[in-house]
Structure 1
Amino acid sequence: MLLNIERNLEVVNQLIQQAADNAERNIEDITLIAVTKTVTVKEVKEAISQGITDIGENRVQELLKKYEELGDAVRWHMIGHLQKNKVKYIVDKVDFIHSVDSLSLAEEIEKRAAKINRPINCLVEVNISGEDSKHGLEPTEVKSFIKKLDEFKYLRVMGLMTMAPYVEDPEATRKYFKGLRNLSEEIKKIPLNQVSMSYLSMGMSNDFQVAIEEGANMVRIGSAIFTTEA
């Protein structure tokens, strides 16, 4: 088995371009986040040499391990569920936290970021599909939650994140991505001071083209980049 990251990235970038063209969008407005769960530092370095600038990690421990080797060579995204007691380890390292889903977590991020005087870009995680197995706020809870976060000084809400259910036919995920985009548009109409709806983080290896067609400007792609070929 051969892992050809260069070839995989070529294919992924072609598919992103195709989806951007379908939606009449500029590919430069779409950030590809390479998800490096279970991926070695050597493989991450190879991806960086092929143009990857943004790395996403699901677990704090893995992020810290890779950060030791790579430092600020890339932008770091914490995309997995984040426990309050782990915030202190990453608050000075990550560029984005994609998984803010409770007031207690938000308050911890605010407190830790204030201590080091470093604003942190965050996305509010929404359980758009209503699956019990997924983290995130119910869509009906998001507006009131975001109004509370608008009062924070260091936690900067920059948009929304979701995970669609895994299905064989990516087309079946469209309604979920459309739902998150619509929610984002509704939030834009609320008078807010700090909150921005600049980003929609949605779409993974199996459904990122549909997500882009529905407005995603951050896609989190792992297996399509780091899967071996026969």
Structure 2
Amino acid sequence: MPETTPVTSAFVPELPALTAQAEKLIELGVHEIAGLPADQLRSFAKAAEAPADASGTLLAVHPEAAPASALAPLLRREGKPGFVVADMPDVDEFTPLGSVTLPEGPLYLVTGIDRGDHMANWSPDEALPALTKESRTPLVLTEGIHWVLQQPEALERNHCFMTIGSRLRKANGTLDSRTPAIWISNGTGRDGRERRNAPKVGWCWAGNRHTWLGFASATDRLAG
């Protein structure tokens, strides 16, 4: 396992207030994707924002209501929309690991998010048990997308991240070797030159290491 220094990730601005996050999702039309009234997002965020410890908390829509394939195109960087790589047509079939439990209901909260820069150059197979030992839970793919929707600065060159809380289970019950990640396209290959610098939802092998990918995680998920 690679050596690591137990430090927090590079500086990322604090998340907006939950009520502001709700307005952002409404502006992007996420409530329509999820089939929810806009006022439901507003009332959920307002109620959840009341506790003093609500700062730094992410408002998330359950992937069953707003899947990754619908959220990825809403990402923006340098005016370019996000996209899912061509060889991941099954992106919405990546569901939470057995060790990852999402709250019931269409809306929930994610607390204590960290990009996991200190685990750069680890493989997903190495990172997952380390996160578990630290009592942290890996983000699922849609949570990672929600984070970048609210806080675009969370995605930067050489400091992107994996969302290994989502995996695809094959028909025989074993896990597919792909692990989802969010990074920035170089505009090469099947991405196309026009997508250079666009936010990209892709995947990496579970046993491979990448110096520019951390492992996004959180402290908890709450029903609100």
Q: Structure 2 length normalisation: TM-score?
A: 0.26
More helix by share: 1
**What TM-score comes out, normalization by structure 1 length?**
0.26
Q: Tell which has more relative contact order, 1 or 2 (C-alpha 8 A, sep 6+).
A: 2
